[in-house]
């Protein structure tokens, strides 16, 4: 906690203020898409041009998530001194977010939820097979499972990073726990969380009714290539 | 892109403006009935008296779908020059919509979604059997499955048209992809999308619990005839 | 259509006006509890002191269901002349409602929906077993299945009445069609529709997971007796 | 009914007024999280410093649950004389709430719902296994099943207390009936009700898709210890 934000240059302070606003707004997307119950979910976003990120406070309800109560952390996951009240502590998942930001410099946003269907696959420790064109677009193949891990050290963060490094997917199902998603920024990670839940739900339901129709690997590759290379930022 | 809308006669310009408004409003029906997640769905409507249609722009969120951002296309699926910003490009599904308008002159509106239960049937490549009176009314029999096809040429559009031409249904489940529905106009196609999802859900759930009770073909024919011929525009 | 409402006495006219308002408001409860998609559901209520009832018009969306557009019918199901526009015709299910009012004088309200889970049981033609205390309270036993029947004569209404006469239940699942519920008044019938869907959903889900725990018949009788006799109008 | 609230000291009257407000607001959380249909659910909270609790009135709809209509009861479950209208009688589940307050002095709030998935486990009489980290956090192990019991004597309350006394869980599934949850206060009990339904749903869905991955008992113990001891009031 050596960093004191109030003594930083105005440009960084503006960047932090903007990121606080973005992260507060993105939390409203979680209940909107049915991804959270009570306070069980969090979004973070890296502050551009700084080794900092902004994350949800612990134990604050979704009705009260204004920019003011968001917590600024360094990449070790420690709250930086910035004038907010002491009782505003970062989400208990902060260490996992920090680990990912330290080890995946391309990641600008992270989301963690216990969304129902994705968590159901996680409760079996089973990856989600890629049998939908929209899943080929978004995830480029199966959504993989990460190891069982407890809060308390680096094991959740390490499990996320090691699993994502071996996959095109920007979602990982932590075993017996729930999904973590990453993205270019917070909004992109929230989109991944919404799409992860949707493919988890659709493919669960599909398989209840009988055998899934596979998609050939070269078709999955085509879907992924087009979506990454041709359409770029386009979302659909 | 030889067509320049601003040089067209005032009557056509008014028709385009009206269709923009209708299509923008109809997009609000998709989240209302739970048919879309994020930006994954689109509605289009033919402009009366012209070889044009209006469709959703690519990658714009449902909160921002005002008439102004809708995109006007010719029947080849090319955006017509009409003064809207360059970055507003039509949905990546536009080629499929255009193909259907070219080959099915009776179609005035098209909807594409990835609605959960309809897409689950599509992920197995299985048609939805007609075991509900409301399905006999709306679709006149099973909802058929169209071929697996990738974006990039006419294959999605051709798959839709060939499947619908052999069926009473105005909904088709494109394999591993999701439903496309057509109608007299955009609103009718949105109704078909909502009803397609509802019968997909209800019949999925019914079959989870045991054997479905079939409806005799002559009863399905009666339901379809009454709904088409006697009740006409009445929706219920 | 011999009855002309505008020539009726003021007390009857006031009763009709009040019933129009009640029926319009009750329609808002159907989407609220997730019981309808698009326009597929209707509520009616008997006008106190007259051989009339008020019902939803055909093909009007739920956003437009004001008291003014409700349709007044006699007990043969014919619209009475009352100054409303010609194009406002009663729901295509009106004959079934009228048959029930003619043959069950104790019924003051009727609801028809295609609510998902109740309709799923109907698609198998299977009654819902009574394994929940709230189902013993509300329905006094299983929710029975009525015969397959088409619109066009008295067969739907007759099927409803004959099935309900042999049951404590005020809900019936018409085979391959959906639930009809009756009540003291419209509100009571809407409550029955909401509770019918809830027990259909809960017991479907329960049975997916394994064998149901039965409730002994004498316990079901106790639940039913208490709810009818001791608590009277109390809803919980 | 020997207690007359209007003659009590001002501090107690203020405590009752505050509890009325809290309980009224908490009822809005039940439909928000999808835990109730119609009027089928209730929240109560103990009045600090008194042998009283506040509970939902019987048969009043969720739209009308203002502080004024809440009912104050003594620990025998009798309404105390406090100037509210006679027709406002406490929920028919009041005897069960009262029994729990009498026998579990650490309990400050109680919630009863018929939430769909929790009630589905209850309809089979099957406990919910602990296969999610969030379930280890919140409930410390399985959510147990209580006995079948009817309203009319102490049997529901006794069944709740005896089951909870043998468990870390603050939720119990009463067989063929539904969940009851307890907490430090009303809000904590509502949180338990929301989390109970969420784990009931997620684990039901997980098991539909195949074998659950168990969590070792010592890991469940670690989750529970951390959540109780380290994070204290923190909710996530």
The model's pLDDT over C48-85, given as tens digits with 9 standing for 90+, comes to 999 999 999 998 888 889 999 999 999 999 999 888 88
Q: List Cβ neighbours of A117 (8 Å cut-off, separation of 6 or more).
A: A197, A200, A201, A204, D205
Domains of chain A: 5-229 (3.40.225.10)
DSSP state of A234: -
- To the nearest whole Å, the CA of B194 is away from the closest chain A CA by 17
- Cβ-based contacts of C89 with chain B (< 8 Å): 234
Q: How confident is the model at residue C2 (pLDDT cuts 50, 70, 90)?
A: low
Residue B3 has pLDDT above 90, yes or no: no
pLDDT at site A7: 79
Residue B134 and residue C114: Cβ atoms within 8 Å?
yes
- Listed by number, the residues of chain D in 168-227 with a beta carbon closer than 8 Å to a beta carbon of chain C are 175-178, 204, 207-208
pTM of the model: 0.96
pLDDT at site B2: 53
- By CB atoms closer than 10 A (0-12, 13-18, 19+), residue C216 is exposed
| pLDDT tens per residue, range B51-90 | 999 999 998 888 889 999 999 999 999 999 888 888 899 9
H or E segment to which residue A178 belongs = strand A178-183
Compute the average pLDDT of residues B6-19: 91
How many whole angstroms separate alpha carbon B200 and alpha carbon B115? 10
**Preferred mutation among C205, C217, C225, C234 to probe D, highest tally of D CBs within 10 A:** C205
- In whole numbers, what is the pLDDT of chain C averaged over residues? 93
Q: Are strands C145-146 and C171-174 parallel, antiparallel or unpaired?
A: parallel
H or E segment to which residue A206 belongs = helix A186-208
Residue B1 has pLDDT above 80, yes or no: no
- To the nearest whole Å, the CA of C140 is away from the closest chain D CA by 14
How many whole angstroms separate alpha carbon B134 and alpha carbon D61? 32
Compute the average pLDDT of residues C164-185: 97
| Helix residue ranges, H only, chain B | 10-32, 94-103, 116-124, 133-139, 155-165, 186-208, 217-225
Please give the residue that has the higher pLDDT: either C229 or C117: C117
| ipTM of predicted assembly, 2 dp | 0.94
Q: Does B232 touch chain C (CB under 8 A)?
A: no
The torsion angle over the Cα atoms of residues D30, D32, D36 and D39, rounded to 10 degrees, is 80
Residue C185 has pLDDT above 80, yes or no: yes
How many whole angstroms separate alpha carbon A55 and alpha carbon C191? 44
Q: List Cβ neighbours of B14 (8 Å cut-off, separation of 6 or more).
A: none
User: Are the C-beta atoms of A196 and B22 separated by less than 8 Å?
Assistant: no
- To the nearest whole Å, the CA of C21 is away from the closest chain D CA by 18
Q: Could you give the 3-state DSSP secondary structure of residue C142?
A: coil
pLDDT at site B230: 61
| pLDDT tens per residue, range B165-187 | 999 999 999 999 999 999 999 99
- What is the C-alpha radius of gyration for chain D, rounded to an integer number of angstroms? 18
| pLDDT tens per residue, range B101-138 | 999 999 999 999 999 999 999 999 999 999 999 999 99
DSSP state of A229: I
Residue C232 has pLDDT above 50, yes or no: no
Residue B234 and residue C59: Cβ atoms within 8 Å?
yes
pLDDT at site D231: 54
Please give the residue that has the higher pLDDT: either D7 or C182: C182
pLDDT at site B231: 53
pLDDT at site C82: 83
Please name which of C162, C159, C167, C166 lies closest in space to residue C142, comparing C-alpha atoms.
C167
Q: Does A131 touch chain B (CB under 8 A)?
A: yes
Task: Write the residue in A198, A210, A235 that is nearest to B126 by C-beta.
Answer: A210
Residue B206 and residue C123: Cβ atoms within 8 Å?
yes
Q: Is the dihedral of CA A219, A220, A225, A226 positive or negative?
A: positive
A67-95: b (≥16 Cβ within 10 Å) or e: eeebbbbbbebbbbebebeeebbbbbbbb
CB-defined contacts A:D, below 8 A: 94
pLDDT at site D233: 43
Which residues of chain A fall short of a pLDDT of 50? 1, 232-236
How many whole angstroms separate alpha carbon D190 and alpha carbon D175? 20
Task: Write the residue in A39, A121, A148 that is nearest to D236 by C-beta.
Answer: A39
Q: Which residue does chain C place closest to B132, by CA atoms?
A: C176
| pLDDT tens per residue, range D149-170 | 998 889 999 999 999 999 999 9
- By CB atoms closer than 10 A (0-12, 13-18, 19+), residue B179 is buried
Q: How confident is the model at residue D2 (pLDDT cuts 50, 70, 90)?
A: low
How many whole angstroms separate alpha carbon B90 and alpha carbon B151? 14
- Percent of chain D beyond pLDDT 90? 84
pLDDT at site D1: 46
Strand partners, A165: none
Residue B144 has pLDDT above 70, yes or no: yes
Q: Could you give the 3-state DSSP secondary structure of residue B182?
A: strand
Task: Write the residue in B195, B208, B222 that is nearest to C38 by C-beta.
Answer: B195
pLDDT at site C221: 97
User: Are the C-beta atoms of B161 and B171 separated by less than 8 Å?
Assistant: no
How many whole angstroms separate alpha carbon A209 and alpha carbon B127? 12
Q: Does C39 touch chain B (CB under 8 A)?
A: yes
Distances (CA, A) of A64 to A17, A232, B67: 17, 35, 33
Q: Which long-range contacts (CB under 8 A, 24 or more apart) does B106-109 make?
A: B106/B184, B107/B46, B107/B182, B107/B183, B108/B45, B108/B46, B108/B183, B108/B184, B108/B185, B108/B186, B108/B188, B109/B43, B109/B44, B109/B45, B109/B46, B109/B182, B109/B183, B109/B184, B109/B185, B109/B186, B109/B187, B109/B188, B109/B189, B109/B190
Residue D144 has pLDDT above 80, yes or no: yes
- Cβ-based contacts of D58 with chain C (< 8 Å): 231, 234-236
- In whole numbers, what is the pLDDT of chain B averaged over residues? 93
* Largest Cα–Cα separation, chain C: 61
User: Are the C-beta atoms of A34 and B34 separated by less than 8 Å?
Assistant: no
Distances (CA, A) of B42 to B33, B91, B182, C20: 14, 7, 12, 38
Residue B218 has pLDDT above 70, yes or no: yes
Please give the residue that has the higher pLDDT: either C3 or C182: C182
Residue A222 and residue B93: Cβ atoms within 8 Å?
no
| pLDDT tens per residue, range C23-49 | 999 999 999 999 999 988 999 999 999
Q: What share of chain A is helix, strand, coil (3-state, %, to 5)?
A: 45, 15, 40
| pLDDT tens per residue, range D62-99 | 888 999 999 999 999 999 988 888 889 999 999 999 99
**Preferred mutation among C206, C217, C221, C224 to probe D, highest tally of D CBs within 10 A:** C206
Phi, psi of D176 (to 5 degrees): 60, 15
């Amino acid at each position: 906690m050596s960093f004191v934000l109030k003594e930083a240059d105005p440009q960084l302070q503006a960047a932090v203020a903007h990121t606080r606003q973005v992260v507060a707004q993105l939390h409203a997307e979680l209940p909107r898409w049915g991804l959270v119950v009570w306070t069980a979910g969090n979004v973070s976003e890296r502050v551009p041009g700084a080794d900092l990120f902004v994350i949800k406070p612990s134990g604050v309800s979704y009705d009260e998530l204004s920019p003011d109560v968001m917590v600024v952390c360094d990449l070790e996951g420690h709250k930086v001194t910035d004038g907010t009240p002491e009782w505003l502590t970062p989400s208990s998942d902060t260490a996992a977010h920090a680990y990912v930001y330290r080890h995946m410099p391309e990641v600008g946003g992270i989301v963690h939820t216990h969304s129902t269907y994705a968590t159901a696959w996680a409760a079996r420790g089973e990856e989600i097979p890629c049998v939908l064109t929209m899943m080929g677009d978004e995830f480029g193949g199966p959504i993989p499972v990460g190891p069982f891990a407890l809060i308390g050290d680096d094991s959740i963060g390490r499990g996320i990073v090691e699993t994502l490094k071996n996959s095109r997917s920007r979602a990982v199902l932590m075993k017996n726990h729930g999904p973590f998603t990453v993205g270019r920024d917070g909004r992109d990670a929230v989109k991944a969380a919404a799409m992860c839940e949707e493919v988890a739900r659709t493919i669960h339901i599909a398989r209840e009714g009988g055998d899934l129709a596979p998609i050939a690997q070269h078709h999955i590759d085509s879907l992924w290539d087009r979506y990454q290379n041709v359409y770029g930022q386009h979302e659909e």
